[in-house]
Structure 1
Amino acid sequence: MRQARPRSWRRDPASAGSGSPGRIGPVNAQVETVIDLDAISHNVRVLREFARGAAVMVVVKADGYNHGAVEVARAALNAGASELGVTTVPEALVLRAAGITAPILCWLNTIDADYAAAIAADVEIGVSSLEQLRMVERAVRAGGRAATVSLKVDTGLNRNGISAAEYPQVLRSLRGLVDERRMRLRAIFSHLAHADEPGHPVIDRQRERFLETIAQAKEYGLEPELVHLSNSAATLTRPDLHFDLVRPGISVYGLSPVPELGNFGLRPAMTLQAEVTLVKRVSAGEGVSYGHRWIAPRDTTVALVPAGYADGVFRSLSGRFEVWLGGALHRNVGRVCMDQFMVDLGDNAGGVRAGDRAVLFGGGAGHPHALDWARLLDTIDYEIVCSPRGRAVRRYVGTGR
């Protein structure tokens, strides 16, 4: 008779499948995202090679795509990234509070954002309208310290960015503020609408418009220190768009922005896993979970995994996804509940027991991938890695050095 494993120690499959044994260590969370900082560093080095001499700004918005902005930022900077990108002033201030001194750009703020705090923390502010420029000016005049700004121009995405109609007014106002030494123009940048389709004609149209906005700024005597346009997809597939700096996001986390072209040598950094709570026999003809949407076709064994839609396991995945458990893939059966789901182990050849860990998605050999979930849900893997929440606890492995 086998002895039960001590409760405070669990087999960790996060590194399994890569040629190395699973680490043994204390694991207390029943649901966790394991973040591999060495994968982050690896991915940044890959992106630097693709950037071909352009500087690399790593995007760590949305708490580092749910990987942890501070930890990702440190790993990325150690691997040679030169700058960081976020959406809001508060996101930038979190990085500054952690002692990160690298240049930080924030580009999606409300009109009443705390621009004074951004200026005080030496955070570069992306300006997307004349009204926003005036609000930054107000903070500058109230505080007496110059602001570093970048102009976010709309070249065809028609989302955040200065419109073509308003752009001349912004340039006139900024010219005066630069002359007064109230503001420093650091960059002009824009964002692509079709970067995940590298041959799409709109990309070339946006490039032309982008060059026009740079030339227009120079007509007003405004010379940006750098210009940038490329996101992950353009960094990897369009060297003609690299300019002075590239802004990779999802690729930093090991997910391909153009899956049909491969993974570009990237390594997924997030593994979502959960501890098996119960293993039990179910007789043929018995139903499992709410509504008995699945009836056991034979005597079988099922495992209960304590993660549900409150933790980011989408209910609409019910009966459609697999987990890596006991050295093999096993399909979910029955409905995903708020707190749990079941998987069919069949004859349980892998000897799965309570306390073992099921990998819901990750980057190891044989593991389900975030892209698998995305395809099932008709979405993108960005949404998948941003979904773990609730009781999911983040844990880091690797050094990121």
Structure 2
Amino acid sequence: MRVAEISVGAIRHNVARVRELTGGAVIVVVKADGYGHGAAIAAEAALAGGAAMVATADLEEALTLREHGIDAPILCWLHGARVDFADAVAARIEIGVSHLQQLEAVAEAARALGSVATVQFKVDTGLSRNGAAPEEWEALFARAAELVAAGLVRVTGIFSHLANAGDANDRLQAERFDAAVAGLRAVGIEPDMIHLAASAATLRSPHLHYNTVRVGVAAFGLSPFADQTSAQLGLIPAMTLRAEIVALRGVPAGTGVSYGFNHVCETATTLALVPIGYADGMPRALNGAGAWVTVAGEHRPIVGRIGMDQFIVDVGPLAGRLELGDEVVLFGDPEQGHPPVEIWAGLMRTINYEIVVGIGPRVRRIPVDGPAS
């Protein structure tokens, strides 16, 4: 009844587009179940598009990718205070290290396994989230050099995260990042991957590309900017959210619709019931906000309050052409005539990221080849 079609062709295209723009290595972030697209589906497509590595936030996500057969390099960087890194070392996960205690824990896991742990250093250059603070860098990098010499640790990269607070702040963060890279080199460690730019800086700030970029939402074909569409950036949205009509009901003028009758039909019409609700990530606050879907290729309004499992569409003049089981598209690629996810995001005063990540587990993710195969 409810399906998110994931175009692997679109993801391949988007990653290739990023590679074309940057000329360096591309890390594709597939945290939060691949931004709601399905982490394994997204990882496979990204790697097929030329990604050098995929990345997650936490270790559990990274290990799940291994369980799904993803054998390529995986980076993860958000760790609990008592995490045991043994599974990460055994599974060849590259561990993002943000402070000395984490580095020691990683080295201890490697020692216990008789193995070598692979790490990348995450440094804070102004976002004020996770990442080693500047006053920690000297001791952290010096200890890393000792652990490298002892054969317990291999350092493959260094990275930070921009606050997207304007060009001046981006450049200030880049200066701090340069200092961190210099500090790592000063102890004799030359990182293979140096990455600061996420999707926004990748698409607009080539001076911040270094030798690697780390993209999330751009890989899924969504624009990180309010003033540019995906198509204008050369990207293709990968998710199409579809459902089917499970009931059709002709009603007279004056009929109230759904809870509270906050919508009353002004004229006789036909209502279609669609089995997706707020339990599936369709925001209840879209009630009466002007959202629409496509039915039989035409725009039709969502009416009445959205329920936990379902919502209602006024299909009006289409009624005679519709049958149970006919397709409803909630959002997808506007170049294919579908509503863009940005309509929901705009009505909700949020970002497209939040909408796609919020699509619930009852919605089946189905990989399709897509338009860019």
Establish whether residue 359 from structure 1 lines up as the match of residue 326 from structure 2.
no
Asked if 1:223 corresponds to 2:190, the answer is: yes
Structure-1 residue corresponding to 2:180: 213
| Counterpart check, 1:77 vs 2:79 | no
Which digits, 9 at most, give the CA deviation of each residue in 1:146-188, with x for residues without a partner? 1111110000000010011222221222121112111111111
Aligned to 1:310: 279
Q: Which amino acid aligns with 2:59?
A: V
1:377 to 339, 345, 348: 348
Tell me if structure 1 keeps the 8 A contact 2:26–2:214.
yes
- Is 1:138 paired with 2:113? no
- Among candidates 244, 247, 252, match of residue 275 of structure 1: 244
Question: 2:359 aligns to what?
Answer: 388
Tell me how far apart the structure 1 counterparts of residues 195 and 304 of structure 2 sit (CA, whole Å). 48
Alignment partner of 2:5: what SS?
strand
Q: Deviations over 1:262-297 (max 9, x none)?
A: 321111110111110111111111211000001111
Equivalent of residue 233 in structure 1, options 179, 189, 200: 200
Q: Structure 2: how far apart are the matches of 1:73 and 1:350?
A: 43
CA RMSD of aligned residues (A): 1.6
Distance 1:104 1:163, change over 3 A: same
CA distance in 1: counterparts of 2:68 and 2:279, whole angstroms: 29
Contact 2:137 2:183 in 1 (8 A): no
Tell me whether 157-166 or 66-75 shows the greater mean CA deviation: 66-75
Deviation of the 1:391 alpha carbon:
2.3
Give 2:202's aligned amino acid.
T
Choose which of 175, 185, 192 in structure 1 pairs with 2:162: 192
Give SS of 2:313's match: strand
SS of the residue 1:56 aligns to: strand
Q: Which of residues 236, 249, 253 is equivalent to 2:216?
A: 249
How far apart are residue 114 of structure 1 and its match? Answer: 3.2
Q: Report the Cα distance in structure 2 between the residues aligned to 1:342 and 1:348, rounded to whole angstroms.
A: 14
Question: For the structure 1 residues 350 and 152, does the alpha-carbon distance in structure 2 shift closer, same or farther, using more than 3 Å as the test?
Answer: farther
> Secondary structure in 2 aligned to 1:313?
coil
Contact (CA 8 Å) 2:84, 2:105: kept in 1 or not?
A: no
Q: Give the distance between the partners of 1:36 and 1:226, measured in 2 at CA.
A: 29
Q: Distance in 1 between matches of 2:349 and 2:316?
A: 29
Deviations 1:195-233 (CA, angstroms, capped at 9, x unpaired): xx6x52100000000001111222323322231111111
Structure 1 stretches of 5 or more lacking a match? Answer: 1-29
Q: Percent of aligned pairs with the same residue?
A: 47
Question: Residues 128-207 of structure 1 correspond to what in structure 2 (within 5 A)?
Answer: 128-194=98-164, 199-207=166-174
| Structure 2 counterpart SS, 1:166 | helix
Is 1:323 the counterpart of 2:293? The answer is yes
Is the CA contact (8 Å cut-off) linking 1:232 and 1:247 kept in structure 2? Answer: yes
Aligned partner of residue 249 in structure 2, secondary structure: strand
Aligned match of 2:29 in 55, 59, 69? 59
Matched, 1:296 2:270: no
Q: Secondary structure at the match of 1:93?
A: helix
Find the aligned partners of 2:69 and 2:319 in 1 and give their Cα distance: 50
SS of equivalent residue, structure 1 residue 359: strand
In the superposition, the TM-score normalised over structure 2's length comes to 0.95
CA shift, 1:96, in A, is: 2.2
Separation in structure 1 between the aligned mates of residue 62 and residue 245 of structure 2, nearest angstrom: 38
- State the TM-score, normalized to the length of structure 1: 0.88
SS state at 1:136 partner: helix
Structure 2 match to 1:116: 86
Mapped contact 1:319–1:331 kept (Cα < 8 A)? no
State the 1:390 CA deviation.
Answer: 4.2
> Do 1:155 and 1:191's aligned partners in 2 also have CA atoms closer than 8 Å?
yes
1:224 alignment partner, SS class: coil
Describe the superposition over 1:288-336 as per-residue Cα deviations: whole angstroms up to 9, x where unpaired.
Answer: 1000001111111111111111111111001221010122111111100
Q: What's the counterpart of residue 18 of structure 1?
A: none
Contact persistence 2:270–2:319 (CA under 8 A): no
Q: Which has the higher helix share?
A: 2
Q: Does 1:98 find its partner at 2:68?
A: yes
Q: Give the Cα–Cα distance (whole angstroms) in 2 for the partners of residues 68 and 308 of structure 1.
A: 20
Deviation larger for 65-74 or 375-384: 65-74
In 2, the alpha carbon distance for the partners of 1:193 and 1:206 equals 9
* Corresponding position: 1:88 with 2:51: no
**Which stretches in structure 2 are left out of the alignment for 5+ residues?**
none
User: Which residue identity lines up with residue 326 of structure 1 in the other structure?
Assistant: A
Number of residue pairs aligned between Structure 1 and Structure 2: 368
